[in-house]
Amino acid sequence: MNSSREARGLSLLEILVTLATVATLVAIAAPSFREIALNARRTEQVNALLRALHGARSAAILRAEPVVICKSRDGTRCSADTSAWSEGWIAFVNRDHDSPPRVDAGEPILMIQPRSEHVVVRANRSAVTYWPVALAGTTASFVFCDSRGTIAARAIIVSQTGRPRVSSRDAAGKPLRCQ
């Protein structure tokens, strides 16, 4: 039998050095993780509206009927007030071509986007109409802002043909503004 016993484990000094190293790494990495989370939220909202715009454009051509995307607080009708697009939006078939557009009986809602909690979406239009002749009918600009302000803002710019593109500048090439 071996009478000498080997001590196993860590000393207090080793534990403190390890904890200090971990704390330093976390302090360095935390701002990067915050930036990643903010970028992911903004990108999620940008992609959701891009998907809706592309989907509405395709649906208008396939159905041979106008399709409208409008801001909506409740997911059932267009909001005509000055609320931001971050309250949510819907896409629907506007069979009676009413203007301003409104969801009437027999007009199916194709997409619903709920409220965005962390990204503010503002636009120069309250609705975008896609016609079955490959024109959007109106140009539009949407600006996505979060707590970082204009430095991290993104825009979706819809051309006369209805094709949306993402940009870090406005349609005139100027820096984006968050209000």
What is the pLDDT tens value at each position of the chain, 179 positions in all? 555 566 677 888 888 888 888 888 877 877 778 889 999 999 999 999 999 999 999 999 999 999 999 999 999 999 877 678 999 999 999 999 998 899 999 999 999 999 988 899 999 988 999 998 856 567 899 999 999 999 999 999 999 888 999 999 999 999 999 97
Residue 17 placed within a domain: yes
Domain contains 6: no
- Tokens coding 137: 């009918």
Q: How many domains does the chain have?
A: 1
Where in the chain does DSSP place strands (E)? 67-71, 89-93, 109-113, 120-123, 127-130, 140-145, 154-158, 164-167
Residue 74 CA, distance from chain mean position: 18
Q: State whether residue 105 is helix, strand or coil.
A: coil
Instruction: Tell me how far the alpha carbon of residue 149 is from its chain's centroid.
Output: 15
Tell me 151's DSSP state: G
pLDDT on residue 179: 76
Cα Rg of the chain (Å, integer): 25
Please check whether residue 35 lies inside any domain of the structure: yes
Domain-located, residue 58: yes
Residue 27 lies in a domain: yes
Nearest by Cα to 66 from 18, 22, 103, 30: 103
Q: Distances from the Cα of 108 to the Cαs of 69, 77, 112, 128, 171, in angstroms?
A: 12, 11, 11, 16, 32
Name the DSSP letter for residue 24: H
Domain that holds residue 118: 12-167
Among the listed residues 78, 82, 80, 104, the one whose alpha carbon sits nearest the alpha carbon of residue 91: 78
pLDDT at 7: 63
119: in domain: yes
Q: Check residue 137 and give its pLDDT.
A: 65
Q: Are strands 120-123 and 109-113 parallel, antiparallel or unpaired?
A: unpaired
136 inside domain: yes
CA 118 from chain center: how many Å? 9
Regarding pTM above 0.85, the answer is no
In a domain, 113, yes or no: yes
**CATH code: domain of residue 102:** 3.55.40.10
Residue 122: the pLDDT is 92
| 67 vs 70: CA distance, rounded Å | 10
Query: Cis peptide before 164, with omega less than 30 degrees from 0?
Result: no
